[in-house]
């Protein structure tokens, strides 16, 4: 590839973002088109700048990196998203791939690995860090398995609570259903709103139902 690779960074940690920006600015074959500090900003900047590659962290304010990836790829399928994060659990990896990411690296990768991955991603290759490649291969050769859960940023209990919220149940009913105190349910609901980056229960219900939760009481 002879043209400059246009890269957008999306990471909420200023020191890491600045270091990555400096690395890409100094590289002879990359052009840094922007650096986003939230998922929402990443989606907006990707739409505006149309980079070749977005280097995407997962755990960000405004919008989770997996949902940001999904929106970027849906808006501009020609943009390649390369995840660069600290999360190495299977749920995060495969949720990112399902959202449209074309590569996944851990933040322990050195600068040469990151530059090589960006170049390969820009050329249409699917990239995984060495420590992840064997797990990805094993996943796809093991046969069908349960898909990753929706909203991977939530705990199993929080997803259970969200499902009941999406069914239209109030906190006392949720507490009775799950055998929890109402205070514990309130705490779970508060955590869910924070992790989904929504302002209130109604917005959480919309997201949950769009993802297929809350169906039991509406059939």
Q: What is the pLDDT of residues 74-117, one digit of tens each?
A: 999 999 999 999 988 888 888 888 899 999 999 888 889 999 99
pTM comes to: 0.64
Per-residue pLDDT tens over the stretch 119-140: 999 998 888 876 676 666 666 6
Question: Domain range for residue 102?
Answer: 5-141
Res 150: pLDDT: 82
Do residues 136 and 69 both lie within one domain? Answer: yes
Same-domain pairing of 66 and 132: yes
Number of domains in the chain: 2
Task: Give the pLDDT score at 1.
Answer: 42
Question: Residue by residue, what is the 3-state secondary structure of the chain?
Answer: CCCCEEEEEECCCHHHHHHHHHHHHHCCCEEEEEEECCHHHHHHHHHHHCCCEEEECCCCCCCCHHHHHHHHHHHCCCCEEEEEECCCCHHHHHHHHHHCCCEEEECCCCHHHHHHHHHHHHCCCCEECHHHHHHHHHHHHCCCCCCCCCCCCCCHHHHHHHHHHHCCCCHHHHHHHHCCCHHHHHHHHHHHHHHHCCCCHHHHHHHHHHCCCCCHHHC
Query: Are residues 136 and 169 part of one domain?
Result: no
Q: Give the CATH number of the domain where residue 164 resides.
A: 1.10.10.10
Choose between 59 and 149: higher pLDDT. Answer: 59
Q: Which of 95-99, 174-178, 211-215 has the highest mean pLDDT?
A: 174-178
Domain-embedded: residue 167: yes
Q: What percent of the chain has pLDDT over 90?
A: 64
The domain that contains 72 carries what CATH number?
A: 3.40.50.2300
């Amino acid at each position: 590839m002879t043209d400059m690779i246009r890269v957008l960074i999306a990471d909420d940690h200023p020191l890491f973002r600045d270091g990555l920006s400096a690395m890409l600015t100094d590289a002879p074959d990359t052009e840094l088109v922007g650096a986003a500090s939230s998922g929402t900003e990443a989606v907006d900047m990707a739409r505006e700048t149309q980079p070749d590659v977005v280097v995407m962290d997962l755990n960000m304010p405004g919008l989770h990196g997996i949902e940001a990836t999904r929106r970027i790829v849906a808006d501009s399928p020609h943009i390649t998203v390369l995840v660069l994060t600290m999360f190495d659990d299977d749920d995060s990896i495969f949720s990112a791939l399902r959202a449209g990411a074309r590569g996944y690296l851990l933040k322990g990768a050195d600068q040469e690995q990151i530059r090589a991955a960006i170049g390969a991603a820009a050329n249409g290759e699917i990239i995984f860090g060495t420590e992840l490649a064997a797990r990805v291969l094993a996943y796809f050769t093991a046969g069908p398995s349960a898909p990753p859960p929706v909203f991977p940023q939530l705990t199993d209990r929080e997803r259970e609570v969200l499902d009941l919220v999406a069914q239209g149940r109030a906190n006392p009913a949720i507490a009775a259903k799950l055998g929890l105190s109402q205070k514990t349910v309130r705490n779970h609901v508060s955590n869910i709103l924070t992790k989904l980056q929504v302002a209130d229960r109604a917005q959480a219900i919309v997201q949950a139902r769009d993802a297929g939760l809350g169906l039991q009481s509406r059939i």
